[in-house]
Amino acid sequence: MIDSNQLYGLAIAALNQQNWPQAIQLSSQLLALAPMHGGSHYILGVACLEQRNLAMAIRHARRAVELEPAQPDFIAQYAKALATARMNGEARAMADRARMLSPLNSTTLSILGSVYQESNQHFLSLEMFRKAAEIEPNVAHRRYNLATSLISTGDISDARLEIEKCLLLNPKFWKAHLALAHLQRQSVDDNHLKRLTSLLLHNESDHEARIFLHMALAKEYENLAMHSKAFYHLVQGKSESRKDIKYTIEQDEVLFAALERALPEAIHQTGGNASHEPIFVFGMPRTGTTLVDRILSSHSDVYSAGELQNFGVALRRAWGSALPLWLDHDIANRTLNVDWQKVGDNYIESTRPLTGHTHRFIDKLPHNFLYAGFIAKAFPNAKMICLRRDPVDTCFSNFQQLFLEKLPYYHYSFDLLDTGKYYVLFDCLMQHWLRTLPGRIFELRYEDLVYDQEATTRRLLDFCGLEWNEACLHFETNQAAVGTASALQVRQPLYSSSIGRWKHYQPQLRNLLDFLTQSDIEFSL
């Protein structure tokens, strides 16, 4: 008969082999024999998190910490589970607690780095990833994690060095090639085309290689104005990536229709949380949301809290649905008896302690445009800003971006025509919100910011009830970290080269242009 020590050893082996079902089975058996065994709770928590059983992951990770409160790896894992649940305040507190303990191994440091990254604490994330890389300098993913934090904090030259070290250790660390391609504007004399082409030729059977190498080649060919080749590789990379997801545009059509049914009439500003703190900046991705976030957070009264998932979490908890938004077609009934004051209170509380030290804070999750009507009910005094950009530039820029998160919110972006259809859904929903929320949403055109920066910035600050601050015109000097795909662009002064960029690909975009025209979407020719 196997004893508990042998069972624990087998559970640890399953954990190390990432055999999550076996780890769950063995640790559950062990807990039946020894329910106060902290290590077994830890293993079960890790495995449940990997299997996307979030409630069980949090429960067992918490119990592991209760039973063995001085184990930094247990605390870090609990912090990771909390961060996954978007409980950022609690996650940050646990991460801080683990950070004060010693010794911290490289795995624990990396987990803490990821937790701090999730909670928009990029300088602390950098500290953790740097220490992990110092402990294991010859492990490729330690170098890559460090590079991502260096990009967020603006140290591009060191980030480039770390990515090259990563690739020296492991030339098949595929996503590092794409990151490197985006770190600089490639030139005829300085590019990676030869290496990328050779790697693609010799790794054609590798699914992940095809995704990242094609996307890297698309970016580098575009920089060299070789647009036909760039578009070919872009389509290859996105179609390869699309194989990982199950999606049809009809899924989003059902969701958008459900949102309109939920709040069909003008919203009366009664109830809710009276706070003036939140400023919600949203819109289609790649339309300037990070730019506006940088402009506003350059103001001394405003703090950027990053891209928070918190409002959607607070809302779904209030209406008692375990379904994610994109699978919930009964939104209208679920919102009938929602306590909007409680939704607002819970949202504000969930943003602490990151917020509360300035008069205002920004939540710049682009897809909060889905929630605009619900935000208005929860926060009658909150400001909402919707970014608009030329429709074709918007669609093409979304298609060019490889959203690594693979969140369902971005599933439309793996096909160009799906992206156009999604844009039409977005446009119709925004028209609905503007009708039902008169005066609540400030639509800001990206092109207006570029061509008339000061006047547009003044209108933006005025809408937010903020006094004029000259620093908002010099957002590129803002030293705060940036955790989005625009981390490089927003460290430069405004430039106009991205306006009308789609015109380089006009022949390849014919189907998209025809669809937008048929859908009565106006764009600049």
Identify whether the C-beta of residue 176 lies closer than 8 Å to the C-beta of residue 163.
Answer: yes
Which fold is adopted by the domain 249-518?
Rossmann fold (3.40.50)
Query: CA–CA separation, 252 vs 326, rounded Å?
Result: 7
Identify whether the C-beta of residue 259 lies closer than 8 Å to the C-beta of residue 429.
Answer: yes
Q: What is the pLDDT of residues 442-451, one digit of tens each?
A: 999 999 999 9
Q: What is the pLDDT of residues 26-68, one digit of tens each?
A: 999 989 888 999 999 999 999 999 998 999 999 999 999 999 9
**What per-residue confidence (pLDDT) applies to 181?**
96
What mean pLDDT comes out for the span 179-191?
93
Terminal-to-terminal C-alpha distance of the chain: 77
- Cα–Cα distance list, 433 to 334, 398, 436 (Å): 19, 23, 5
Q: What is the pLDDT of residues 491-517, one digit of tens each?
A: 677 788 889 999 999 999 999 999 999
**What per-residue confidence (pLDDT) applies to 329?**
78
- Name the percent of the chain lying above pLDDT 90: 77
The whole-model pTM stands at 0.91
What mean pLDDT comes out for the span 236-251?
92
What mean pLDDT comes out for the span 129-155?
95
- Cα–Cα distance list, 56 to 76, 86, 257, 406, 522 (Å): 16, 15, 33, 23, 49
Identify which of 403, 427, 424, 425 has the alpha carbon closest to the alpha carbon of residue 413. 403
Q: Is the pLDDT of residue 381 over 90?
A: yes
The residue assigned the tokens 């054609």 is 204
The band of 344, judged by pLDDT with boundaries at 50, 70 and 90, is: very high
Q: Is the pLDDT of residue 485 over 60?
A: no
**What phi-psi label fits residue 282: left (phi over 0), alpha (psi between -120 and 50 degrees) or beta?**
beta
- Name the percent of the chain lying above pLDDT 70: 97
What mean pLDDT comes out for the span 342-347?
96
**What per-residue confidence (pLDDT) applies to 1?**
47
**What per-residue confidence (pLDDT) applies to 488?**
65
**What per-residue confidence (pLDDT) applies to 324?**
74
Identify whether the C-beta of residue 460 lies closer than 8 Å to the C-beta of residue 385.
Answer: yes
The tally of CA atoms less than 13 A away on the side-chain side of residue 182 is 21
Q: Which residues contact 238 (CB under 8 A, 6 or more apart)?
A: 215, 399, 402, 413, 414, 415, 416
What mean pLDDT comes out for the span 281-290?
95
Q: Which residues contact 327 (CB under 8 A, 6 or more apart)?
A: none
Q: Is the pLDDT of residue 316 over 50?
A: yes
